[in-house]
Amino acid sequence: MSGAPGEAERQVARVLARARHIAVLTGAGVSAESGISTFRSAAADMHALWKEFDPRTLATPEAFADDPARVTRWYDARRIGCLNAAPNPGHLALTTLQRALRSRGGDLVVLTQNVDRLHHKAGTQGVVELHGNIVTWRCTRTGQSIEPPPEPMPRFPAPSPFHPEGLLRPNVVWFGEALPTDAVVAAEEAAGACGVFMAVGTSSQVFPAAGFIQTAMARGAVTVEINPESTSISDLVTYSLKGRSGEVLPRLVGTAA
Ligand code: BV8
């Protein structure tokens, strides 16, 4: 839908004010204003992780098997960054909107690709973590998880406290690994039940996460994208709002909640 940014935002605010069930797919862009790097942002001012690092050498089980110290060091540095980060107004606006919807018998479900747990810190309930989280790590031999202390790990790779030959790996979903079944089921249910599906701060390039919007579109849900850049879905959604989520969401929710 074209139209001046102001008019499109006003229309989306009205849609949100009338909605009962909203699903929100979030990506790294929603945490950018909390100081956490995105992966693929093209904008020169955006620090994009994958520009510096090749994901095939870091975000795969093979990378970890090949060089566990290198992968552990990179994820541990990101873990500390996430632990020190605070939710931004975009995260907080989604919490406000969820509370408003729940007060009128509806709901808002956040389906996040992010592993930083900033939606949790913002007070959003029932967050569906499609790609796991970076805060808890598990033993490669027993599968038992722990939450390491909020300081850099002393050694790389990190030995497991559960097994003499085990190592600790982050509880994130790497490329080539299946998403948690319960998260996929919850995401399909949310996409199947929502009247409004929002894609916020995601390049919509990673699957199956980027595919859930198709379920909502097939059912005729209103679809909204919030992103300063155009993506592969910008021409497919009902409303494409160009802007930063930390600025756009509070404007929408301020009038919607
Ligand atoms: C799997 C790990 C199979 C944690 C990540 C079709 C179907 C299924 C799979 C595939 C498929 N096609 C290809 C695949 C394989 C692959 C895939 O999708 N590859 C892509 C690259 C083509 N998918 C997989 O491997 C998945 N697994 O399919 O397994 C299987 C099945 C059964 C049994 C065994 C195996 C696993 C995918 C998960 C991979 N893990 N992360 C970590 O390190 O963080 S993915 C990584 O990308 C992050 O999780 C990240 O969240 C995710 C998506 O990126 P975005 O969040 O969108 O971030 P990005 O930087 O790309 O974009 C940010 C956007 O924000 C930009 O558009 C920018 O403009 C915008 N922005 C910037 N600032 C702001 C902003 N927006 C708003 N406000 C701002 N201020």
Q: Are 224 and 232 in contact (CB under 8 A)?
A: no
53 touches ligand 1 (CB under 6 Å)? no
Q: How far is the centre of ligand 1, averaged over its atoms, from the C-alpha of 93 (Å)?
A: 23
Enter the DSSP assignment of 5.
Answer: H
For the stretch 121-169, pLDDT in tens is: 999 999 999 999 999 999 999 999 999 999 999 999 999 999 999 999 9
For the stretch 204-243, pLDDT in tens is: 999 999 999 999 999 999 999 999 999 999 999 999 999 9
Tokens representing residue 136 in the block: 């808890």
Q: How far is the centre of ligand 1, averaged over its atoms, from the C-alpha of 48 (Å)?
A: 13
Ligand 1, atom 20: nearest CA belongs to which residue?
A: 206
96 touches ligand 1 (CB under 6 Å)? no
The mean-pLDDT minimum among 50-54, 152-156, 193-197 falls in 50-54
Query: Rounded to whole angstroms, how far apart are CA atoms 40 and 37?
Result: 9
> Alpha carbon 88 to chain centroid distance?
14
**What pLDDT was estimated at residue 57?**
79
Query: What type of residue sits at position 138?
Result: R
Cα of first residue to Cα of last residue in the chain, in angstroms, is: 23
For the stretch 85-124, pLDDT in tens is: 999 999 999 999 999 999 999 999 999 999 999 999 999 9
Which position has the higher pLDDT, 44 or 245? 245
pTM: predicted TM-score of the whole model, two decimal places: 0.95
Q: Does position 23 have pLDDT exceeding 90, yes or no?
A: yes
Strands 132-139 and 222-226: unpaired
Asked about 131 being catalytic, the answer comes back as yes
Q: Does position 3 have pLDDT exceeding 80, yes or no?
A: no
SS3 96: helix
Distances (CA, A) of 119 to 23, 25, 65, 123, 125: 14, 12, 31, 7, 8
**Nearest residue to 111 via CA among 8, 198, 214:** 198
227 touches ligand 1 (CB under 6 Å)? yes
Give 36's pLDDT tier (boundaries 50, 70, 90): very high
**Nearest residue to 149 via CA among 36, 158, 131, 166:** 158
161 touches ligand 1 (CB under 6 Å)? no
Which one of 39, 111, 130 would you pick to mutate in the ligand 1 pocket, going by the greatest count of ligand atoms within 8 A of its CB?
39
Q: How far is the centre of ligand 1, averaged over its atoms, from the C-alpha of 47 (Å)?
A: 16
Instruction: Give the H or E element holding residue 145.
Output: strand 145-146
32 touches ligand 1 (CB under 6 Å)? yes
- Ligand 1 atom nearest 170 alpha carbon: 4
59 touches ligand 1 (CB under 6 Å)? yes
- Ligand 1 atom nearest 202 alpha carbon: 57
**Nearest residue to 114 via CA among 98, 90, 138:** 90
Selected catalytic residue, list 21, 91, 119, 131: 131
Q: Does position 52 have pLDDT exceeding 80, yes or no?
A: no
Strands 239-241 and 222-226: parallel
- Ligand 1 atom nearest 115 alpha carbon: 44
